[in-house]
Amino acid sequence: MLTIGQLAAYAGVTTRAVRHYHQIGLLPEPERDASGYRRYGAKAAVSLIKIRTLANAGVPLSEIGQMLEADASTFAEGIERIDRHLRDEIERLETSRKQVTQLIAGDSLALPPEVTSYLDRLREIGTSERMVEAERDGWILVVARWPEGIREMMPAKFAHLDDPQLVRLYQLGSELIESDAGDDDPRLEEAADILAALAEQAYTSGEIDPDKEARDEVPFGLLDALAVESDPRAQRLLDLMRKRGWSSWTRTRPERLAD
């Protein structure tokens, strides 16, 4: 006759686990000896080992009881379910692992490689680190909203970097964000002019679909808000854009107000 400790050791589990199985009725409570100790026979050891085998395989304890009582075909059916579940779980972890290894590269937290390359390009053209970080956070919001569409829009974004206007814009942004210039800095006007010009280009070339963007206002609002939260002077930039007939600098759609 085994004590609970011996039984547990034999099956390679803790005594707490055994008592837990008793509590949930998975393993029947054995007889007690004179002093109230549980005393186990060999069948208990066999049962416990079977239980652990299924539990190690990921079967929830609540199902193990039925599985051990089931006939062959029901059992096989249960096994099938378990196996599917295990496959799904493994797949989930595999994709997690892929994402995690991408995280090792600095910016890629929550960002696909295309976008991190874009950020690296920004650094190459002299964009300041804080500006890149602001840009990165913006992309995080964009990717969260259009995880699929991101791939198709990136080539155009890269191409855009050949435009000296855009390069100048990032330069202005870098200077401003690093400086303590006030709301009245003339570079804000210059930035607004460039933004308006770029918006005009994009709009007339049909690159922007106002209807499409109208249906998805939230992210644009968030992007504007993010800019202002990152640097309050962005508010002034938004105002300047509105004066020029654009509802915001990220939501490049002419407003009715412009009428």
Shortest separation between residue 165's beta carbon and its own copies, angstroms: 26
Cα dihedral sign, 120-126-127-130: positive
- Dist. CA 136–CA 112, nearest whole Å: 11
Q: Name which of DNA, its own copies, none residue 109 binds, using a CB cut-off of 5 to 8 Å depending on partner kind.
A: its own copies
CA-nearest of 107, 127, 141 to 173 is 127
53 interacts with its own copies by CB under 8 A: yes
| 91, containing H or E segment | helix 72-103
Q: Name which of DNA, its own copies, none residue 89 binds, using a CB cut-off of 5 to 8 Å depending on partner kind.
A: its own copies
Judged by beta carbon, residue 68 or residue 161, the one nearer DNA is: 68
- Dist. CA 227–CA 223, nearest whole Å: 6
Strand boundaries in 15-83, DSSP class E: none
- Dist. CA 243–CA 105, nearest whole Å: 41
- Dist. CA 108–CA 163, nearest whole Å: 26
Find the angle CA(101)-CA(106)-CA(110) to the nearest 5 degrees.
65
- Torsion, CA 123, CA 125, CA 126, CA 131, rounded to 10: -50
181 interacts with its own copies by CB under 8 A: no
Indicate which single residue of 14, 23, 66, 96 sits in contact with its own copies (rule: CB under 8 A): 96
Q: Name which of DNA, its own copies, none residue 101 binds, using a CB cut-off of 5 to 8 Å depending on partner kind.
A: its own copies
The interface mask with DNA, positions 57-76, x = CB under 7 A, is ---xxx--------------
The interface mask with its own copies, positions 103-142, x = CB under 8 A, is xx-x--xx--------------------------x--xx-
- In the complex, which residues of this chain contact its own copies (CB under 8 A)? 1-2, 6, 10-12, 41-43, 45-46, 49-50, 53-54, 56-58, 72, 75-76, 79-80, 82-83, 86-87, 89-90, 93-94, 96-97, 99-101, 103-104, 106, 109-110, 137, 140-141, 144-145, 218-219, 222-223, 225-226, 229-230
